[in-house]
Amino acid sequence: MSFHASPMFPGDLYDTTLRVAADTPADETFPAHGPSASWRQFLALGWQAVMVGEEHGGAGACLADVAAIAEAAGRYALALPLVARCAVVPALLEALSAHPGVAALLPALAAGEASACPVLDEDGAGVPRCGFDAKGIVLAGGLRGVDLTEPATHVVFAARAASGEDLLVLAPSDALTGLVNTWKGIDGRRAVDIDLSGLHLPAEAVIARGPAASSAIARSQAIGAITSCAQIVGATGAMIEQTIEYLNTREQFGVALGTFQALRHRTVDMYVAYENVRGMVRQCVLTLQSGTTDARRISTVKLYLAATARQVAESCIQLHGGIGMSRELPAARLAMHALSCSVQWGDRFVHLDRLTAAPAPTRAPAHA
């Protein structure tokens, strides 16, 4: 019994990320100030520039290239903001590059001299409110779950005017000083809540409004959801590889665990689930990068993958002997990483709400 996961999008980006991730210590901690060693290396490699256009100093590559990076990083449970900083932000800002502030920021992102953290609330309930006065804009409310695992020079976030109009706001992170709460996730990510009440920003901080902002937010959420799915695919494939290796080398009653039929059947269930989600995610990435944003399809895949990630993680831990036997093993880190990624860019409840709120497309009746 042997297995080696094949990448969805093989190539240099996947291979390079795999080598960098393999050299990252399993116990790497995120410093209180400044980027981690891994993040500095990713910035030096130009991963933020992959989806930035060539006219702004980037590589002008496609979503599949960033998905390859995310999948490779997922195989080593790297808790870095790759999806947010290397996929969501470049795609979001590239679409709004006509704005002077965005045009000035994109080259800095491509060079690794700046990094922007996106906050695009999944359910809309926590979107800050925005008013206008003679000085510019004034904000009320706050931002929830801002991923500051690695430092960011800017924050780009969704807001809403009193009229109900959607807005996108770009602000320097040092202007957002109203820290309310901070916590760490199960995989080590650091998130904060920021109070924006009474904060004044210049009018130029609004980089999009109305339908342009709504469209950009929806597409960015879709990119974030499907790229986080690529991370889960990578973690799931690695979990299966490690589980099979464990069963083939660990013995009980004088024989390898891999010879027990019940354990083999459970491993096959993991493999079948992996192959299903791998194909789904790959097709969604290709569809999304072609310019078609099928929100219902992406929500369906994310909803299914959230359940599948938990099932595979539970099976992986059980086949390694249970939580007490696997706590210090790489398999446990992968399981926590898969579970954490499954709630990034919309957990199963958010995507279930989207599916139930949006009417399913109807088919015309077949003619006799």
3-state secondary structure of 329: coil
3-state secondary structure of 138: strand
Token digits of residue 185: 């996730």
What is residue 115's DSSP assignment? -
How many CB atoms are closer than 10 A to CB 309?
28
CB of 141 closer than 8 Å to CB of 194:
no
State the distance between the two ends of the chain, measured CA to CA, in whole angstroms: 52
52: left (phi over 0), alpha (psi -120 to 50) or beta: beta
Residues of the chain short of pLDDT 70, as ranges, are: 1, 26-32, 122-125, 258, 323-327, 358-368
User: Domains in the chain, start-ordered, CATH in brackets?
Assistant: 12-110 (1.10.540), 116-210 (2.40.110.10), 214-357 (1.20.140.10)
pLDDT of the residue at 273? 92
Cα separation, 149 vs 187, in Å, equals 11
Which residues are CB-contacts of 97 (< 8 A; sequence separation ≥ 6)? 53, 56, 103, 106
DSSP string, 145-171: EEE-SS--SEEEEEEEETTS-EEEEEE
CB of 136 closer than 8 Å to CB of 202:
yes
Q: Which of 272, 240, 242, 244 lies closest to 1 in space, CA to CA?
A: 244
User: Is 59 buried (19+), middle (13-18) or exposed (0-12) by CB count in 10 A?
Assistant: middle
pLDDT of the residue at 331? 86
Token digits of residue 34: 């400044």
Cα separation, 148 vs 194, in Å, equals 11
What is residue 251's DSSP assignment? E
What is residue 347's DSSP assignment? -
CB of 161 closer than 8 Å to CB of 182:
no
Cα separation, 260 vs 231, in Å, equals 31
CB of 44 closer than 8 Å to CB of 81:
no
Q: Which of 64, 79, 291, 109 lies closest to 191 in space, CA to CA?
A: 79
Token digits of residue 128: 């800050």
pLDDT of the residue at 29? 64
Cα separation, 304 vs 287, in Å, equals 18
User: Is 206 buried (19+), middle (13-18) or exposed (0-12) by CB count in 10 A?
Assistant: buried
| Half-sphere exposure (Cβ direction) of 40: Cα atoms closer than 13 Å | 7
